């Protein structure tokens, strides 16, 4: 806990000498303690209703924000009460989890991350913001930028993957899309960087579980996306549910007072997660709800979501001297500042006619492009894809996810409407009119079903077809918050269905819709081609159809490592080398070990006897319908000084027959450092479109400061010495060179 002296100095240091801060301070001086605490209280909406109790609390200035109310008439009426009937006329801020779209649903965030396209993700967030703002929402709880290395964790679906650099770039793009360059713009909404910090490192991949993260890992791996969002001007922050090294985030003054406010200069406000302040008592670090309220406000949690500890106890805590009123004042000032930035005092009401129509053709086109670029081709043998034009007359479309408009939307889509979804079956039927026939058999009622009664019909359809498209994966409810899985195989009898269909001898193309990486080893074995389409959203069907029919080529790249088995987890590309790294020469499979072999006969390096040391697919991996070749990698100046920029170039050529896009990725390794550094680290990437036979020289500019790492007790530094650099199509790129920092 920070001392009162340190806290007081910190609060003064945060005062922003701006017009907005002046307005906030002037208003603050007029407020009673009850009205101040009201600004710190966020309540859940009544879903289109306004209870007498809600009217009274808003009129008395005892509510600062309302979440989960999306009826514009209700929003405007509550806002009218706040602005016209409360003593000081302070507007409310209406919030909602607009995670990957409002009405137009985009791929889940993990799927969007597979686009490796910040510009496209910014457009998607812009669409979501405009649609949400059109009903009166001005605040979303996104982006989620937790580094996620464990696919068992259900919320990996909401994340942007395992890499700090990629997550930083994409998280900033989302925040920029939500907020534009001015929060007062019509259609801009406040973004929220969450969950600070380490939520994705929950032990065992089990939601809400504890995390133990050393200081150097916090700074080098988990902090960077949050720092990037602060630098980009994100308006709000949210703590994680978990404890971080024994201190629950919602009561962690070091995280929010020291790191976020003092070190990073964050000027927005912090909102708790749902009832996470109340849960400080459950964690066992607070004696009752009064203690929880005291701990959270002193830690720097400005607003309480859903639970009522602040409303019930803060005034008493101030009157007793347990919480200085200056702490309350600073929390209120932080909130008022954002309300002024949003222009709520000048424009509190919403007129939907001021905005583009929901699900407009322009919005749907962006959703389709995002879904198309998110698809990752993991296998394509015997040129199974794209389907040869004019050389097939009948397609068998099989599986529980081929025509399920709800499930393809994914997790956390409170406002998505399945009636607007275009499924893969509908898209294929539309695209193939007059050219080929589709025969659809659902085969399994859900992805979890074990009932094989419909298998004979599916197999008959497969035998009569020229090719089979199988839509497999997991329902949307199987990922997301509190939906963690210990085993990552295809649920239900889906694998049995795939095996049976493969035995018909027809080409089998598997499309996997899921909220996480799955262990797809056997699915790959029985598929001629396999695409991971994640949960692709409203326009997933047309996007998938485009790829299947060769109207565009897959360009998605994995934002997270795919394990070969659940037992390999955690497995991620930017791991440390260890003193005994595994090699091809050292690896011996369990079945090849002689009986009673001496211990030294099995290599003594870091791997699993039954699963090796390699993932099923590495971070950054993704095939295309064409071939890309990298050559002539050069560092313009192989020796550089601190403060310089390393300029690196490489030739990229499309040597295949399809026009396509490639994501060229640059990785580095600090070969000798004061603490152990990862075997590779992503530092830059470019998305490039090339025609068949076309080549292009790509140039990367890498500031030396980007090579810095955090050394505990010392801080950030770039150490002189040798570095290795790779450029290629995934994290296993072979083309490399070296450079030296002096």
Other Cβ atoms less than 10 A from the Cβ of 33: the count is 14
Residues 6+ apart with CB under 8 A from 11: 326, 327, 330
As given in the structure block, the two tokens for residue 741 are: 């920092």
The Cα 413–Cα 70 span in angstroms is: 13
> What are the DSSP E strand ranges found in 533-644?
628-635, 639-640
Q: What is the CA radius of gyration of the chain?
A: 27
As given in the structure block, the two tokens for residue 737 are: 């060179």
Angle of the 164-179 helix axis to the 224-231 helix axis, nearest 10? 30
The Cα 440–Cα 469 span in angstroms is: 10
The Cα 151–Cα 136 span in angstroms is: 35
Residue 708's Cβ-count burial label (10 Å; 0-12, 13-18, 19+) is: middle
Residues 6+ apart with CB under 8 A from 33: 315, 318, 325, 328
Strands lying side by side in the sheet with 695-703: 628-635, 645-654, 695-703
The Cα 686–Cα 228 span in angstroms is: 19
Where do we find the tokens 């026009």? Answer: 659
Catalytically active residues, by annotation: 273
- Which residue stretches of 300-423 are H helix? 309-320, 325-341, 361-374
Host H or E run for residue 171? helix 164-179
Pick from 679, 702, 15: nearest CA to 333: 15
Angle of the 19-29 helix axis to the 325-341 helix axis, nearest 10? 130
* Longest CA span, the chain: 84
Residues 6+ apart with CB under 8 A from 104: 127, 128, 131, 358, 359, 360, 363, 364, 366, 367, 420, 537, 538
What is the pairing mode between strands 721-728 and 660-670?
antiparallel
> What are the DSSP E strand ranges found in 516-623?
529-532
Other Cβ atoms less than 10 A from the Cβ of 497: the count is 26
Rounded (10°) CA dihedral 30, 32, 37, 38: -80
Give CA separation, 383 vs 26, 198, 550, 567, 702, in Å: 69, 42, 12, 32, 38
Q: How far is CA 440 from the centre of its chain?
A: 33
The Cα 341–Cα 348 span in angstroms is: 12
Other Cβ atoms less than 10 A from the Cβ of 29: the count is 8
> What are the DSSP E strand ranges found in 625-704?
628-635, 639-640, 645-654, 660-670, 681-690, 695-703
As given in the structure block, the two tokens for residue 690 are: 């090339």
Backbone angles phi, psi at 101, to 5 degrees: 120, 160
In 3-state terms, what secondary structure has residue 372? helix
Is the bond into 386 cis (omega within 30 degrees of 0)? yes
Q: How far is CA 187 from the centre of its chain?
A: 22
């Amino acid at each position: 806990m920070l001392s009162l002296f340190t806290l007081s100095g910190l609060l003064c240091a945060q005062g922003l000498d701006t017009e907005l801060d002046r307005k906030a301070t002037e208003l603050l001086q007029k407020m009673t303690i009850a009205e101040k605490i009201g600004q710190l209280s966020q309540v859940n909406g009544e879903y289109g209703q306004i209870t007498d109790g809600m009217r009274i609390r808003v009129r008395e200035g005892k509510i600062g924000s309302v979440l989960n109310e999306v009826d514009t008439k209700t929003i405007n009426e509550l806002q009218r009460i706040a602005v016209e009937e409360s003593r000081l006329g302070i507007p409310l801020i209406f919030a909602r989890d607009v995670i990957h779209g409002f009405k137009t649903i985009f791929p889940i965030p993990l799927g969007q991350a597979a686009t490796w396209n910040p510009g496209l993700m910014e457009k998607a967030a812009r669409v979501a913001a405009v649609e949400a703002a059109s009903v009166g929402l001005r605040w979303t709880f996104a982006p989620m930028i937790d580094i996620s290395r464990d696919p068992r964790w259900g919320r990996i679906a909401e994340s942007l993957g395992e890499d700090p650099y990629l997550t930083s770039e994409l998280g900033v793009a989302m925040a920029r899309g939500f907020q534009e360059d001015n929060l007062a713009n019509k259609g801009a909404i406040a973004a929220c960087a969450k969950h600070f910090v380490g939520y994705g490192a929950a032990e065992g991949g089990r939601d809400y579980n504890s995390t133990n993260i050393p200081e150097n890992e916090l700074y080098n791996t988990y902090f960077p996306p949050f720092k990037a969002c602060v630098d980009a001007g994100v308006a709000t922050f949210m703590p994680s549910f978990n404890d971080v090294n024994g201190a629950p985030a919602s009561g962690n003054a070091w995280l929010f007072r020291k790191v976020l406010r003092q070190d990073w200069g964050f000027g927005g406000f912090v909102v708790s997660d749902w009832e996470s302040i109340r849960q400080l008592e459950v964690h066992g670090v607070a004696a009752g709800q009064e203690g929880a309220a005291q701990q959270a406000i002193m830690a720097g949690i400005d607003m309480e979501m859903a639970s009522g500890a602040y409303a019930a106890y803060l005034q008493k805590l101030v009157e007793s001297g347990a919480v200085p009123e200056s702490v309350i004042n600073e929390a209120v000032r932080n909130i008022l500042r954002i309300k002024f930035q949003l222009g709520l005092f000048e424009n509190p009401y919403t007129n939907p006619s001021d905005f583009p129509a929901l699900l407009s053709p322009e919005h749907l086109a962006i959703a389709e492009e995002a879904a198309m670029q998110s698809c990752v081709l993991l296998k394509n043998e015997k040129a199974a894809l794209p389907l040869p034009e004019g050389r097939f007359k009948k397609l068998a479309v099989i599986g529980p996810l081929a025509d399920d408009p709800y499930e393809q939307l994914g997790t956390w889509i409170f406002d998505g409407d399945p009636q607007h979804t275009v499924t893969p079956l509908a898209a294929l039927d539309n695209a193939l009119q007059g050219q080929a026939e589709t025969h659809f058999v659902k085969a399994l009622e859900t992805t979890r079903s074990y009932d094989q009664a419909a298998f004979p019909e599916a197999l008959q359809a497969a035998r009569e077809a020229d090719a089979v498209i199988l839509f497999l994966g997991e329902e949307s409810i199987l990922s997301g918050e509190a939906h963690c899985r210990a085993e990552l195989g295809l649920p239900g009898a889906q694998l049995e269905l795939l095996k049976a269909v493969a035995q018909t001898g027809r080409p089998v193309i598997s499309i996997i819709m899921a909220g996480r990486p799955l262990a797809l080893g056997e699915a790959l074995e029985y598929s001629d081609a396999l695409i991971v389409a994640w949960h692709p959203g409203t326009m997933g069907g047309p996007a998938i159809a485009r790829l299947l029919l060769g109207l565009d080529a897959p360009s998605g790249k994995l934002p997270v490592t795919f394990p070969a088995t659940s037992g390999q987890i955690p497995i991620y590309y930017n791991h440390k080398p260890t003193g005994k790294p595994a090699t091809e020469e050292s690896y011996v499979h369990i079945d090849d070990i002689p009986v009673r072999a001496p211990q030294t006969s099995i290599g003594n390096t870091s791997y699993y006897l039954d699963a090796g040391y390699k993932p099923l697919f590495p971070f950054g991996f993704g095939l295309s319908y064409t071939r890309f070749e990298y050559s002539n990698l050069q560092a313009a100046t192989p020796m550089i000084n601190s403060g310089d920029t390393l300029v690196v170039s490489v030739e990229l050529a499309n040597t295949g027959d399809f026009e396509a896009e490639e994501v060229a990725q640059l990785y580095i390794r600090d070969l000798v450092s004061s603490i152990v550094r990862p075997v590779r680290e992503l530092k830059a990437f470019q998305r490039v479109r090339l025609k068949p036979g076309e080549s292009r020289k790509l140039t990367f500019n890498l500031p030396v400061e980007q090579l810095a790492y955090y050394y505990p007790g010392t801080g950030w530094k770039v150490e002189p010495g040798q570095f290795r650099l790779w450029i290629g199509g995934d994290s296993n790129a072979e083309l490399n060179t070296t450079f030296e920092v002096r």
